[in-house]
Structure 1
Amino acid sequence: MGMNVGMEQSDEDIPMSDINTTPLVDVMLVLLIIFLITVPVVLETVPVQLPEVQYEPNETKPTNVNLSVKGGPGGTCEVYWDVTPVSSEELLDRAVTRLEEAIDAAGGVDNITDETMPEAHIRGDVDTPYKCIGGAIFTMQRAGFARVGFISEPPPGTAVRRL
């Protein structure tokens, strides 16, 4: 290490304006070595396979049932078949009727396929209690619908990609 005490030819003491950077460099090198040693220890990873989530637009078939569910006043549930409000009993009756019509149109239970089987699509409000949506799912499954799905909106700014 060297040290500069000023010019030798001058009798006056002139203050130095230079900063001694050697201690600063020493501290920075020690910190760099510490980080190089500790970072690999901290970054332990666990191998996990996550599902690939992609928004896939549905092709709406005319036989599909579109339900809208929202919470009503006093903790009640409001269910709408398209835009018509229905009670739980009416929902079950309409769902059974729709399923029977689809089976008759296909020529019987043996001829119905995944393509001809109607689906139930449920759109739930953000503030809807789970009991309302769960009740609609249960009623549609009780009527015989094998495929019950949810209609959602992708977050703004995300691209929709077909598989």
Structure 2
Amino acid sequence: MVRTARIAEPVPFSTINVTPFIDVMLVLLIVMILSVPIATHKVPIDLPVGGEASDLEVPHRLSIDQAGALAWDGRAVSDAALPGLLATIRREPAAVLHMQTDPEARYERFDSILAVVKRAGIDRLGFIGNRPLDD
């Protein structure tokens, strides 16, 4: 005698597994939370207002060599004389300061000189490339 057994057919699920969906949404939320503050960060910079280019600009060069010594327009100057020289630039409307620093100079030295320039109120400032000084 042959017996037959009944095998139950699989019943389709009527619900969806939302766990992967929630995981993906949480990852996207974390990415948004981390990237929004970076995108909204602002650095205030005083940019010049457009106008006619002046051919009468008088550039002055402040150089910092590898050892940290200062040179103003090619001649050596001391740290004590620098604020006086910067005050003359501030009084001249056409004067521009160009800073050139040897790439081997210490950053602390550059930072301290830049702080002196900022305290002097120099707002027409440019930086010359990152090459060794020729002077």
TM-score (norm 1): 0.42
- Compare CA radii of gyration and give the structure with the larger one: 1
- More RCO (CA 8 Å, sep 6+): 1
TM-score by length of 2: 0.49
Of Structure 1 and Structure 2, which has the larger fraction of its residues in helix? 1
